[in-house]
Homo-oligomer: A and B are copies of this chain.
Amino acid sequence: MGSAVERLIQKLRTIGDLSQADEALLRGMPVRIAELRKGAIVVADGEVSSRSCLVLDGFMHREKLTPAGGRQILSFHPAGDIPDLQSLHLKKMDYNLVATTECRVAFIEHRDLNAALQKSASLTGLMWRDSLIDAASFRAWMLMLGQGDADERMAHLFCEMFMRLRAIGLARGTTFQFPVTQIEIADALGISTVHANRTLQELRARGLITVERFEVTILDWAALKELAAFDPAYLHFTDENAGK
């Protein structure tokens, strides 16, 4: 029941089938719960890691820094995600994993995760699939970073976050919590904070979204999707979660 991995199970169900046996394997994994302060770097670029981090509450993000002081945010992660799952096979980190807000997380030792995967090819397949969807998401962002204007990029970010949060039950209707500053949005979209601010205002003025106190409401989903040229296919949800 209240086990920490319930969030993981719920998340995995949004992207594929999970057998009773595989659920049991996940529930059997030992985890260590931890509270993270806002801004805490859980694993740093270049570090070697022997465990992965499951988000239980709050938001995390991945980021890479340039020598010149630039920061690119690569992805945002709500509850249910294991952002550094890849460290299972790539011990050395190539980005910082950071707590965007205060977070509750569960650490899973690679030893224990491997033991569970060893016992089930289907569970291995599902976790692999999860990491492939992650990669598909990077591809979608690359398209935006390379080809989209600021307003298209921002619309795309809101579309993706909405779909992912809704799938794990973190949206009420078309409203969701997105506790991320404009500075972070700017660094995710590869634009300046000043421009992020003006672009956000533009989306509001066009009646596409409202934002207040980190709560986003999509006012015109069709128009937002259209602007972002958003096609949720790349998120590879199971049919039940593909909706809208």
Contacts and interface: CB of A to CB of B under 8 A. Distances in A.
A140 B121 CA distance: 30
Interface residues of A, number: 45
A92 B142 contact: no
A66 B147 contact: yes
Contacts of A142: 64, 72, 74, 138, 141-142, 145
B136 A66 contact: no
A143 B138 CA distance: 11
A36 interface: no
A173 interface: no
A67 B230 CA distance: 10
Residue of A74, A141, A145, A233 with most partner-chain B CB within 10 A: A145
Interface in A45-69: 46, 62, 64, 66-68
Contacts of A135: 86, 131, 134-135, 138
Nearest to A138: B138
Residue of A89, A125, A136, A189 with most partner-chain B CB within 10 A: A89
